[in-house]
Amino acid sequence: MTQRRGRFPTREELRIWRDFIETTDALRAAMAARLQSESGLSTGDYSVLLALSEAEHGRLRSSELAATIGWERSRLSHHLGRMDKRGLIRRENCTGDNRGAEAVLTEEGAAAFHGATVPHLRAIRELFVDGLTPAQVTAAGELAAALREHLGNGGGPQEIP
């Protein structure tokens, strides 16, 4: 990849950048609206529930959960408090030591996550996959991987829309 440091983007590069940002913002908003209307979950709720559903015994230390979903710990702490009040998760002292807290997936949280999964996957199909050719879907994956690599993230956690 050619590095062109010190130069500003061309007019065409700026147009493409703006199209990219506006389109991804519109896609995120559409996905979030569908998720909320079809399941009552926010994208943040879904991200937390997904991470916990994939974790051993449905529990993660808050610091691990924050790293997994790419959030700062303070944002996560406030969000977990709201999810705890709704019965989707509960917070417990760490099983190995008492220095930290773990978020634990509740039965209600698991049921909410599972109930949201099929509509969420359907929305991904309808709003993203069906708008592209198979070659464009592949190219989108390559584009995302190249940008993650360039940013030094190497495919790390991303918030799920």
3-state secondary structure 67-123: HHHCCCHHHHHHHHHHHHHCCCEEEEECCCCCCCEEEEECHHHHHHHHHHHHHHHHH
User: Does residue 136 lie in a domain region?
Assistant: no
**69 in any annotated domain:** yes
What's the number of domains the chain is made of? Answer: 1
pLDDT above 80 for 13: yes
Q: Examine residue 156 and state whether it is found in any structural domain, yes or no.
A: no
Residue positions counted in the chain: 161
Calculate mean pLDDT across residues 90-99. 78
Q: Which of 40-49, 96-105, 139-148 has the lowest mean pLDDT?
A: 96-105
CATH number, domain containing residue 69: 1.10.10.10
CB-CB contact of 127 with 161 (8 Å): no
DSSP state of 55: S
Is position 137 within any domain?
A: no
Residue 72, in any domain of the structure: yes
Q: Residue type for 55, please?
A: A
Tokens 């099929």, located at residue: 118
Which contiguous run of DSSP H or E holds residue 142?
helix 134-151
**Domain assignment present for 160:** no
Would you state the pLDDT for residue 97? 66
Structural domain that includes position 65: 34-117
**What average pLDDT score do residues 1-11 get?**
73
Q: Is the pLDDT of residue 1 over 60?
A: no
Is 45 within the bounds of a domain? yes
- The pLDDT value given to residue 100: 77
Q: Quick check: is 132 in a domain?
A: no
Query: What is the chain's mean pLDDT, rounded?
Result: 90
